[in-house]
Structure formats: structure tokens, C-alpha cells
């Protein structure tokens, strides 16, 4: 067995740790859990720190439990929130739970002696009535103790409902239940969860004189101050329908050198020696973006598939490297539009496709590509114009290229100027 705490320390993934945790884990296989909040029908890369914590935990020989909060999702965690969120109806919550569970199963192994388990706290809360809860759980934790938590103190000015105030008791009982019925001696989570986690260890101590442990990871911040896991379009989701494999791949490719050195330690399954070698190699030639490419490829294949990774690399090469007409034609419409999301676009009629290239690339396309026929003619003669990655060889050449996805043409002026033409 590998030392889990030491493994996380060199990866930069330890924020707070309860005394005795490392010694307990080094005694032998231990069960630990992390809770995942089913507020959406997909996890996003902000959740991946916790997913990877469980993955590293399992790879060190321990048993991971992934708790999906069917019950706590009905309450709402105030940690890190400035206002109370809208509560989900049961149908939406159940849909989200099934989607999140399926995603977790892509990362963890559910076979072997330390097989992972996905558990749902609704299973033990559904028959637990209010009077039983306040008698069997509430009496062990004082209001003073609960009020001292940062998650509570930070919300007192803006307002905190009793529902959210009770959240730490509900999460504390989760730990107690998994300690008692699944042998979970450790709860893991982000640093904003420390207060909720130690409430669980305190409940176990006061209710059964038992011993349990807590450990948290730091919240990731980006070097430029922007939030990790966010892009201009919002969250980077693990669901391909919400964030395409191409956009997922691009998020990691566009990481800064400072950030990616931190990311590869957290998110890669490569061993320490290999990662340190890659970091050293990257520093010698940072322009080649070795760390970014290595991480983008590993994560895109793991979250999506090898086929999706190949498509993402191919799509990236169309904009930033050498590619062929065949590469362009192989893209589905969604990926094509995402690759060229920011380029100028225009519409032409199908009747215009028979015109000569000079007229088509200037007047027909509303002079967006070229301001005049003369400018178009001159650049075509200089070999600087392509349509669908095929060079236009003569000013009077007929525009009869096959349409991409039966409706698009991609014009290129020079090396970096692209224009998407929709044929209607």
C-alpha cells in the first residue's frame, strides 16, 4: 500500500488534516467517503479535485465511497454560498443523481477487494422522521458549536434559514451512518467542508465514543485570479452534451504554465518521477506546451473517449496547425461551429456557388472577406486563399466546393484569418 497522505502532499492536495489520520490509514485498508451534491445532471471539472482524491485513495489500496446527496440535495449546503439556493423537486433530483452516479463510475474501479461504492444518503434519511432526528442527532451537538462554524457565521448577516443551518447536522449524520454501517473512518472534501466534516467526527465521538478522521484539499485558484473550472461560457462540464470534448480539451490546452504545473500533479494518474520529468522537460521548451498537451490528452480520453480525443486534436489542428480537407470534413456540425465560434460569419444563397472565386470572396459574401475584387484577385494570385482547406489557384476559378455538413464553406485568408460561410 502507498502512503495516501504522502501521495496527496507531493501533489499539493492537502489543506487540513486531523491528527492521527495518516497513522490510521497506514494500519491497512480504510474506507473513506466524499459527498457529491446533485444540483445538476452532470459534474464539472470543479468536482474533479474530489473525484481525483477518491481515485488516488483507491490507488493507494483503500476503499472509496462516493456519496451522492439525494437527501442533502434537498436541503442545500450554505458553505461558500452568499444566498440560499432554489431547492430541487424530487424528479429533477433523481435524474441528476443517476447522471452523477454514471459519471463517477467512469473514474473508480468497482471490482476487487477495495471496490468503490456509490451510496445515496436518501436511503437512510427517507424513513428518519423529524422528531427522531432531533432526539437522536440534535441533542449531541450544541447550538454554540454549530454557530461557531464559518459556513454559518458568514451567512448570519445576509440571512440563514433553519433548513441550511441544519445542514451540518445532516452531513454529520451521513458520516456517523457510514462509520457505523460501512466502516468509513475518514471523510474527505474541499477545504470549505472542514466545518461540516468535523461535525461528523464530533457526532461519532459524542454518540458512540467512536473515532473518525477528517482531511481536506485546498480550493484551486488560477494564477490570473479567475475561477478554476470556468470559461466564458460558464462551467466546464463532464457531460459531452454540455461541454463538447473539443472545448474540454481546449480548456486544458489553454492553461497557463504556472497553473498547468499544479494541475498535472492533481489530475494526472502518472507517477511522481514521470510528472517531475515532464515538468523539467516543459521548462526547457515551454513554447511547445508539453504539460498542457499531456494533461489535455490524458483527461479528454479518460472523461470522454479515445475517439473524442482524436476529434479534439484534429479540430485544434485546423485552427492552429496543418490540416487537410478530409480533417475538416470529418468534423460534426456541433464541433465545426465550436471551433469557428469566434470567426466572422456570413450567409450566401446556393445560387451563388457557381460564381468565380474573386466575386464570391468579395461582393457575394458582402465584402466581409475582401473589401474589393482587386484585393481578392491579388491575394488569390499570391496563393494566400483557401476554401475548405483547399487552395484557390486562380481568380476566375469556379466556387464548386463540397459543402461541410451540407451547409457551410470555410474560407481562409492568409494563415490565421478564417470566415465561415453558411449556404442557405
Tell whether residue 250 is among the known ligand binding residues: no
Is 230 annotated to bind a ligand? Reply is: yes
145 is in an annotated binding site: no
Query: SS3 string of the chain?
Result: CCCHHHHHHHCCCCCEECCCHHHHHCCCCCEEEEEECCCCCCCEHHHHHHHHHHHHHHHCCCEEEEEECCCHHHCCCCCCCCCCCCCCCHHHHHHHHHHHHHHHCCCCCCCCCCCCEEEECHHHHCCCCHHHHHHHCHHHCCHHHHHCCHHHHCCCCCCCCHHHHCHHHHHHHHHHHHHHHHCEEEEEEEHHHHHHHHHHHHHHHHHHCCCCEEEEECCCECCCCCECCEECCEECECCCCCCCHHHHHHHHHCCCHHHHHHHHHHHCCCCHHHHHHHHHHHHHCHHHCHHHHHHHHHHHHHHCCHHHHHHHHHHHHHHHCCCCHHHHHCCCHHHHHHHCCCCCEEEECHHHHHCEHHHHHHHHCCCCCCCCHHHHHHHHHCCCEEECCEECCCCCCECCCCCECCCEEEEEECCCEEEEEEEC
Residues at the annotated binding site for L-tyrosine? 33, 167, 171
Residues at the annotated binding site for ATP? 230
Residues at the annotated binding site? 33, 167, 171, 230
Amino acid at each position: 500500500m502507498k502512503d495516501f497522505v504522502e501521495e496527496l502532499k507531493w501533489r499539493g492536495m492537502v489543506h487540513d488534516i486531523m491528527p492521527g489520520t495518516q497513522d490510521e490509514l497506514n494500519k491497512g485498508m480504510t474506507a473513506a467517503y466524499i459527498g457529491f451534491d446533485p444540483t445538476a445532471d452532470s459534474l464539472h471539472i470543479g468536482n474533479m479535485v474530489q473525484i481525483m482524491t477518491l481515485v488516488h485513495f483507491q490507488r493507494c489500496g483503500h476503499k472509496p465511497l462516493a456519496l451522492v446527496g439525494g437527501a442533502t440535495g434537498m436541503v442545500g449546503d450554505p458553505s461558500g454560498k452568499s444566498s440560499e439556493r432554489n431547492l430541487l423537486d424530487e424528479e429533477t433530483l433523481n435524474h441528476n443523481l443517476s447522471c452523477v452516479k454514471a459519471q463517477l463510475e467512469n473514474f473508480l474501479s468497482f471490482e476487487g477487494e477495495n471496490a468503490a461504492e456509490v451510496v445515496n444518503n436518501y436511503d437512510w434519511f427517507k424513513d428518519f422522521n423529524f422528531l427522531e432526528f432531533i432526539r437522536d442527532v440534535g441533542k449531541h451537538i450544541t447550538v454554540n458549536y454549530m454557530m461557531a462554524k464559518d459556513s454559518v457565521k458568514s451567512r448570519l448577516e445576509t440571512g440563514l434559514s433553519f433548513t441550511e443551518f441544519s445542514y451540518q447536522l445532516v452531513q454529520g449524520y451521513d458520516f456517523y451512518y457510514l462509520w457505523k454501517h460501512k466502516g468509513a473512518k475518514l471523510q474527505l472534501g474541499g477545504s470549505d467542508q472542514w466545518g461540516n466534516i468535523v461535525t461528523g467526527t464530533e457526532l461519532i465521538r459524542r454518540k458512540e465514543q467512536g473515532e473518525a478522521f477528517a482531511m481536506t484539499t485546498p480550493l484551486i485558484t488560477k494564477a490570473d485570479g479567475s475561477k478554476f473550472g470556468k470559461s466564458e461560457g460558464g462551467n466546464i462540464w463532464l457531460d459531452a452534451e454540455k461541454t463538447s470534448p473539443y472545448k474540454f480539451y481546449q480548456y486544458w490546452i489553454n492553461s497557463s504554465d504556472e497553473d498547468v504545473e499544479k494541475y498535472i500533479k492533481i489530475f494526472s494518474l502518472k507517477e511522481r518521477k514521470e510528472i517531475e520529468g515532464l515538468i523539467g522537460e516543459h521548462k526547457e521548451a515551454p513554447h511547445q506546451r508539453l504539460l498542457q498537451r499531456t494533461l489535455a490528452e490524458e483527461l479528454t480520453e479518460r472523461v470522454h473517449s479515445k475517439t473524442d480525443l482524436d476529434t479534439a486534436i484534429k479540430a485544434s489542428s485546423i485552427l492552429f496547425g496543418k490540416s487537410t480537407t478530409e480533417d475538416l470534413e470529418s468534423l460534426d456540425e456541433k464541433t465545426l461551429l465550436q471551433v469557428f465560434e469566434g470567426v466572422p460569419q456570413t450567409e450566401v444563397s446556393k445560387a451563388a456557388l457557381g460564381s468565380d472565386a474573386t466575386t464570391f470572396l468579395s461582393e457575394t459574401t458582402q465584402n466581409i472577406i475582401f473589401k474589393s475584387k482587386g484585393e481578392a484577385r491579388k491575394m488569390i494570385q499570391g496563393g494566400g486563399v483557401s476554401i475548405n482547406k483547399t487552395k484557390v489557384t486562380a481568380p476566375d476559378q469556379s466556387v464548386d466546393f463540397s459543402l461541410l455538413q451540407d451547409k457551410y464553406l470555410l474560407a481562409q485568408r492568409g494563415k490565421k484569418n478564417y470566415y465561415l460561410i453558411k449556404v442557405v
